[in-house]
């Protein structure tokens, strides 16, 4: 795939991922969680990174901030943020960027919050980490304002609550408040609506839309929920087996999905989703990242595969402007 998936001036791209490879090393195998990922994210837009669990979405997000766990290593690639390669910067500089320039919302908000401290304290600590000389009075007002911004009622009272006092939706709102506390340029949201009911999911998505418009937030939205993602994303990137198999403007991908995996994801949506018709199931299981098949990684589950799909991994081709796909079936 070309290093740029869209012919846009580089000055408009806040983030560029180029040939990113992130592996996890075990005693008996190498888990190639991310294998040659490329995409660009424009300032003020939302890119939805979509795929089933185990496709490498979260690892891609964590690689941006070099938050790879034990045994993991970014083998090669570039993460260009505002013109600088984050993979070349010293860890001290990366720590200054985390939470200030780039923030992340982790999965499971209740687990991510510290049960020993009030939510007000946790938001305040995030601000103080990058503004150590801020006065207590100003800090308190900022915490109250952030809780208001994310829709927490009675913030002066609720800031004294502990995480166990919160519902799932409230905990997620607090995590968003922490993430935007220092007005970052980029927000990485990793499954921000998982384990929430549909009403709360819609409220969280509405909140993202509001924050995007109000503070010009750029968002990398990592999710398995294609229908939900399509409500907010400007671009969609479909990921499978550690690679992006299709990427393009949302309207184009929704209107004309090209890769068999993308089509299968749309077909598996409920009738209330983006596609009408009978609900379908994607046969088989997600490819094991430690023992990927030869050729296209999706071919063991693909209903329209050709012989060469089992031998060679297909290159990316640009079918229409800014719509790329990796499939031999697409001419």
Confidence grade of residue 193 (pLDDT, cut at 50, 70, 90): confident
Confidence grade of residue 104 (pLDDT, cut at 50, 70, 90): very high
* Measured distance CA(23)–CA(272) in Å, rounded: 38
Q: Select the more confidently predicted residue: 150 or 201.
A: 150
- Residue 203 included in any domain: yes
- Residue 250 included in any domain: yes
- Block residue for tokens 């208001």: 148
Residue 292 CA, distance from chain mean position: 23
Q: What residue ranges in the chain does DSSP mark as E strands? A: 13-25, 30-42, 46-50, 72-81, 84-85, 102-105, 186-190, 218-223, 235-240, 243-249, 317-320, 323-325
- Residue 234 included in any domain: yes
| pLDDT tens digits along 245-267 | 999 999 999 999 999 999 999 88
Confidence grade of residue 6 (pLDDT, cut at 50, 70, 90): very low
| Half-sphere CA count of 70, side-chain side, radius 13 A | 2
The percent of residues above 90 in pLDDT, for the chain, comes to 70
The DSSP output letter for 286 is P
Residue 330 clears pLDDT 50, i.e. is over it: yes
Residue 2 clears pLDDT 70, i.e. is over it: no
- Residue 214 included in any domain: yes
- Residue 148 included in any domain: no
Report the side by side order of strands in the sheet with 186-190. 102-105, 186-190, 218-223, 46-50, 235-240, 243-249, 323-325, 317-320
Other Cβ atoms closer than 10 A to 321:
10
* Measured distance CA(39)–CA(15) in Å, rounded: 8
- Residue 82 included in any domain: yes
- Residue 21 included in any domain: yes
| pLDDT tens digits along 138-185 | 999 999 999 998 889 999 999 999 999 999 889 999 999 999 999 999
Pairing of strands 218-223, 186-190: parallel
Mean pLDDT in residue range 72-84: 95
* Measured distance CA(170)–CA(200) in Å, rounded: 9
- Give the count of domains, the chain: 1
* Measured distance CA(321)–CA(6) in Å, rounded: 8
Q: Which of 1-15, 76-90, 98-112, 202-216 has the lowest mean pLDDT?
A: 1-15
Residue 16 clears pLDDT 80, i.e. is over it: yes
- Residue 114 included in any domain: no
Domain harbouring 262, CATH code: 3.40.50.300
Mean pLDDT in residue range 83-103: 94
What pLDDT, on the 0 to 100 scale, is given for residue 109? 82
Q: What is the pTM of this model?
A: 0.90
Domain enclosing residue 271, as ranges: 10-101+184-325
């Amino acid at each position: 795939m070309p290093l740029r998936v869209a012919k846009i001036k580089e000055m408009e791209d806040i983030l560029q991922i180029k040939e990113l490879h992130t592996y996890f090393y075990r005693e008996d195998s190498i888990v190639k969680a991310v294998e040659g990922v490329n995409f660009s994210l424009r300032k003020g837009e939302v890119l939805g990174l979509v795929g089933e669990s185990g496709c490498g979405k979260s690892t891609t997000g964590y690689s941006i901030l070099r938050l790879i766990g034990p045994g993991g290593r970014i083998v090669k690639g570039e993460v260009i943020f505002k013109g600088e390669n984050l993979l070349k910067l010293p860890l001290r500089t990366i720590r200054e960027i985390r939470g200030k320039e780039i923030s992340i919302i982790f999965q499971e908000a209740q687990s991510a919050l510290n049960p020993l401290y009030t939510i007000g304290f946790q938001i305040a600590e995030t601000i103080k980490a990058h503004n150590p000389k801020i006065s207590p009075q100003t800090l308190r007002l900022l915490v109250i304002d952030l809780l208001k911004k994310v829709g927490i009622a009675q913030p002066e009272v609720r800031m004294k609550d502990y995480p166990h006092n919160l519902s799932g939706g409230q905990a997620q709102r607090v995590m968003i408040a922490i993430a935007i506390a220092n007005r970052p340029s980029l927000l990485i949201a990793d499954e921000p609506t998982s384990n929430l009911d549909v009403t709360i999911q819609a409220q969280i998505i509405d909140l993202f839309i509001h924050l995007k418009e109000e503070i010009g937030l750029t968002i990398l939205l990592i999710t398995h929920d294609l229908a939900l993602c399509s409500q907010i994303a400007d671009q969609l990137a479909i990921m499978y087996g550690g690679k992006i198999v299709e990427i393009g403007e949302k309207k184009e991908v929704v209107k004309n999905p090209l890769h068999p995996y993308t089509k299968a994801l749309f077909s598996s949506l409920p009738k209330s989703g983006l596609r009408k018709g009978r609900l379908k199931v994607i046969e088989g299981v997600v490819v094991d990242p430690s023992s990927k098949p030869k050729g296209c990684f999706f071919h063991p589950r693909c209903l329209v595969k050709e012989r060469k799909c089992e031998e060679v991994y297909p290159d990316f081709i640009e079918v229409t402007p800014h719509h790329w796909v990796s499939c031999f079936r697409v001419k």
